[in-house]
Structure 1
């Protein structure tokens, strides 16, 4: 085996050292990520400078970079057990949309660490959900107040995590599970209330129709009264004569006797 030239061995060593140096002194941060720099000999976590953004970065080989996902993320808390205002156990399915605050990433890493989800968000959402749900009855949770409860959980949790360098984007109450007996009782009550409202609606509709008919009848009666008062004997005779004259123009054979009818009205004889 041919021995390496004396000059070749140092070059090989330098190349190996250079490769190790580059691998230790560089970091590539992907899309939707950011890096927190830890200076081994320079004060630890860097909190007074912006986090390292996406792309390739050169660092001192004795330092380290902790990479965080800065995109919006979701944690799903399933079957979270809480108590209603009257002490009944309720099960909630809640989704939380969150992300770390980019400008506070160094402080988040320094004070909470990479497992900030289980240190900050999960405990806070559980505590707030128990507090908020405890103000409401099962019926309110099941029907009318669900959106209000969701908003309250979001607002109160947001206040708590904002100071811990986490951005809360939304809290979504996916499902509310009540004890079966309570759920059935609520559904029966809601059905009865709906039927009662429907019955009241029909009664009100009938009242309005009766009122409409009464007003219509009163109007017709008033019109008849006015008409009757205006129809004198003289006017009736005049209208009868006008009608008789119109009939006399008909081509059918007839005999008209003027003044022979009741009240002196004409008679029409010999209609064919």
Structure 2
């Protein structure tokens, strides 16, 4: 029987039969979908299989077969972010401080069943992370005074990260990193800090100027001392040279005198040489006036005249 004839009797259409068949086909399709055993667990997820609400197994990424009486929930284990805006704290010297933080975390894969049962059916722990972050920030900032909180920001961030990892371990989450943003104090305190920084910079500039002047003075003193040392060395050298020359001259005279004293003939020969030089220069005229004690050429004091 053809389809057209199936829904016709005596040439008249049978709409009831057509609707019944469509209903049966739709029911069969629904039953097939409900009973279809092949499911998929996406990458970065785990499949939590439950029966009547009780966890029966954890499936990794990929295809998995699910019985009709089982339920498959997709549980995210990828890294997630939780932001905390304007978290408030107070330093050890009672200065209020605010900061915005971003925490990146993920669920520990071996604790998926525990987290699914106790905290979240899809791996979203944002509310737990935000609450824990605010508590940790308050606890850490209370350990530092305001100047240290600024000067040791890296250490503060490390303390927050360590404390947050320890706290979120309870919820089966592992903290990847923590970013701090918009770190600020009250307006009055920030103004006081700026004034202090300005004064410190002026003080350092003055100290640097004093050190520069001192260095210049020391350099000048060193140059003067070097010049004085050089002059002294030169004077010492010249004095030493003069001393050596005088000593040599004295030694020569002493040797000469000693030689003359030991040889009278040499001395007489020198006297004769001198007289000969005088005679060579004499013009033959005797002096008109002779004074007592005045020398007369070629006159022998012993009474003999020159021949």
| TM-score (structure 2 length as normaliser) | 0.65
Match of 1:185 in 2: 192
Report the CA distance shift for 1:165/1:234 in structure 2 as closer, same or farther (over 3 A): closer
Residue from 141, 144, 148 that aligns with 1:133: 141
How far the C-alpha of 1:88 sits from its partner, in A, is: 2.9
Question: 2: distance between equivalents of 1:129 and 1:82?
Answer: 7
Unaligned runs of 5+ in 2: 8-16, 243-307
Number of aligned residues: 226
1:173 matched to 2:173? The reply is no
Question: 1: distance between equivalents of 2:197 and 2:182?
Answer: 19
Question: 2: distance between equivalents of 1:44 and 1:231?
Answer: 112
Report the CA distance shift for 1:132/1:117 in structure 2 as closer, same or farther (over 3 A): same
Match of 1:18 in 2: 32
| TM-score (structure 1 length as normaliser) | 0.73
1:73 matched to 2:80? The reply is yes
Question: 2: distance between equivalents of 1:93 and 1:118?
Answer: 15
| Preserved CA contact (<8 Å) 1:94 1:172 | yes
Report the CA distance shift for 1:153/1:76 in structure 2 as closer, same or farther (over 3 A): same
Deviations 1:94-125 (A, max 9, x none): 11010111121111111212475245322211
Question: 1: distance between equivalents of 2:84 and 2:190?
Answer: 22
Question: 1: distance between equivalents of 2:241 and 2:166?
Answer: 92
What RMSD, in angstroms, separates the aligned Cα atoms of the two structures? 2.8
1:44 matched to 2:58? The reply is no
| Preserved CA contact (<8 Å) 1:125 1:157 | yes
Question: 2: distance between equivalents of 1:189 and 1:234?
Answer: 67
Match of 1:56 in 2: 63
Deviations 1:138-160 (A, max 9, x none): 3333x202111111011011111
Deviations 1:53-102 (A, max 9, x none): 22232212222222222221211111112222233322111110101111
SS of match in other structure, 2:78: coil
Match of 1:157 in 2: 164
Q: Report which of the two structures shows the higher radius of gyration computed on alpha carbons.
A: 2
How far the C-alpha of 1:37 sits from its partner, in A, is: 1.9
SS of match in other structure, 2:171: coil
SS of match in other structure, 1:201: helix
1:227 matched to 2:220? The reply is no
Match of 1:268 in 2: none
Unaligned runs of 5+ in 1: 236-272
Which deviates more, 109-118 or 177-186? 109-118
Runs of 4+ in 1 over 4 A off after TM superposition: 11-16, 232-235
